A and B are shown apart, each in its own frame.
Chain A
Amino acid sequence: MSSAKCPFSEFPDPFAAARAAEGIREIDDQGDPVKMVLGHRDVRKSAHDWRTFQSGAKPGRIVVPSEVNIRDIRQIPFETDPPEHTEYRALVEGWFRRPLTESYEAGLTNLINQELDRAISSGELEVVHDFALPLQSRALTLLLNCPLEEAEEWIGWGTHVFRSDDDPLDGDKANQLYDYLDAQIERASRDVENGEDIFAHLLRAEYRGRKLTHEEIKGVMILTFAGGRDTVINAVTNTLAYFAGHPEDLQKIREQPELSARAVEELVRYFAPLTHMGRVATSDAEVSGCPVAADSRISLCWASANRDPKVFEKPNEVDIERKANPHLSFGFGIHKCLGAPHARQVLKVLITALTQRVSSIQVTDHQDNIEQWGDFNRKVGFHRLQVKIS
């Protein structure tokens, strides 16, 4: 429980006042402003209304900060609307549900135990780069069903594939991923029938009576690298920080392992690894009593919705036993996260492994990762989290 304020495991809610007052707040983004939608009901309502608030705008425009200047390629199914979205999504939905199988869970358990053992034997480490990044990358090989060794290259790309230290929107860095994907699609196309990885799966897929194009396959694959990277890295890092600050909760799960599923949902609610995602209005509309002009942007602020006191009791406290927990961390409606079964499984296996293998986590140094959205400063995770672990 949060008796004393913990300097590293608190994730404050910067949206409270604006959410209670106007429920929506405009911020600038490279001259293409975004009205952030903050209340739980308004976020759900706008996410549901894909006819008015579309995802299939110019590629990169629904992402905040906008990426229209650094890419032309459309992410699939993310930047499409029905009916295309429905059909694209159907091609990959089954694939993204594989994390629920027994063998997947076993593989993941094996992998995460190894990562933890490595961490414990070194005794002291920086969690973001030396634990969360390799764990996320290696776990992704299970999702894509490709050799574990592939992860070494992805780890080399650093925590964000699109960002370098001196440039938050680095086009060259993105090219490295694009080149990699081109080469992989090329490789997989040499043996489409027998290939067992996601590239072969996509090469075999039929969309509207034809095969997917190279660009479409790339559009799907970019998303598994972009959408599943920072989000999982932050979720893993923050989970370690949380249990370092709240060993009593880890002990509770040790005694009642059946709590782990609820704990995952509650931590994901609290951390909201993806703060918000944009939409473009297809006509003049209104959200929360505020006019939204055609062709302007709104964003669905999952992080704010998750702290809405109209829905959650004690929204700023972590209650790993929270029973009803309609959080929006994985989105809402037709675009809700395809990677959620994988992400949930990663966190569940991680928490179980922590209860079995770790007796103490101590934070010795940390540097918060604070996002700035207009006047809002939101802690989403850490740039660095130095811990002693045993």
Chain B
Amino acid sequence: MPQSWCTNRFPDKKEQSGTVYFFVNDLKFLTEMAKINFITKAGVEMQLEAASGSVMELAVNNSVPGIDGDCGGVCSCATCHVHVAPEDWAQTGAPGDMEKDMLEFDDNASEFSRLSCQMSISDELDGITLKVAN
């Protein structure tokens, strides 16, 4: 059973690696899972999947290094910063105004920067690759 079946259970960060949690409610999402590839600063690739929640929640629940989600996803901490692979930019779309504000003075920001807490998971994001910025 893929571990990512428990991934929309944020902010229960406790329920992470090792244990597989299964929620009956998750079944209804099974048809629309999106696979998302993360590449960490250290170059480790992680493929995770979920059907709902935000990309930050998916990453935090699976302990992706460099994505901390300190503010719980309200766009105030920038600890969920990712660089979208240029070829996937059309799929993710550009950041919203507040998100752009928070990225404006971030030294690691590029033209493909997003705060992953502001990216909602849907099948539109299926297959994208995100490089963790920090």
Contacts and interface: CB of A to CB of B under 8 A. Distances in A.
B102 interface: yes
Contact of A326 (B72, B76, B106, B107): B76
Interface string B98-112: 110110111100000
Nearest to B106: A48
A41 B101 CA distance: 8
Contacts of A324: 74-75, 96, 98-99, 118
A325 to B, nearest CB: 4
Given A44-B101, A324-B98, A262 B13 contact: no
A333 interface: yes
Contact of B11 (A40, A261, A326, A340): A261
Contacts of A328: 76
B70 interface: yes
A108 to B, nearest CB: 14
A235 B68 CA distance: 23
A323 B68 CA distance: 18
A341 B70 contact: yes
A341 to B, nearest CB: 6
A138 interface: no
B70 A344 contact: yes
B14 interface: yes
Contacts of B11: 258, 261
Contact of A261 (B72, B98, B102, B104): B72
Contacts of A336: 77
B30 interface: no
A230 interface: no
A262 B118 contact: no
Contact of B75 (A40, A261, A326, A341): A326
Contacts of A330: 76-77
Contact of B98 (A102, A265, A326, A340): A326
A265 B76 contact: yes
A325 B70 CA distance: 13
Contacts of B85: none
B76 A325 contact: yes
A324 B102 CA distance: 11
Interface residues of B, number: 22
Contacts of B74: 261-262, 265, 322-326
Interface in A163-180: none
Interface string A41-74: 1001101100000000000000000000000000
B71 A102 contact: no
Given A262-B74, A323-B74, A324-B75, A40 B105 contact: no
Nearest to A312: B98
Interface in A324-354: 324-328, 330, 332-333, 336, 340-341, 344
B105 A45 contact: yes
A270 to B, nearest CB: 13
A340 B70 contact: yes
A253 to B, nearest CB: 13
A262 B74 CA distance: 7
B109 to A, nearest CB: 11
Nearest to B118: A324
A339 to B, nearest CB: 12
Contacts of A151: none
B90 to A, nearest CB: 23
A323 B73 CA distance: 8
A153 B77 CA distance: 34
A102 B14 contact: yes
Nearest to A47: B105
A311 interface: yes
Contacts of B70: 340-341, 344
A44 B104 contact: yes
Interface in A255-300: 258, 261-262, 264-265, 269
Nearest to B99: A324
Given A97-B68, A323-B74, 5 more contacts: A100-B13, A261-B72, A324-B75, A325-B74, A325-B75
19 contacts: A40-B101, A41-B101, A45-B105, A48-B107, A100-B13, A261-B71, A261-B72, A265-B71, A265-B72, A269-B76, A324-B74, A324-B99, A325-B71, A327-B76, A333-B105, A340-B70, A341-B70, A344-B71, A344-B72
Nearest 9 pairs between A and B by C-beta?
A261-B72, A48-B105, A325-B74, A102-B14, A324-B75, A324-B98, A265-B74, A326-B75, A326-B76
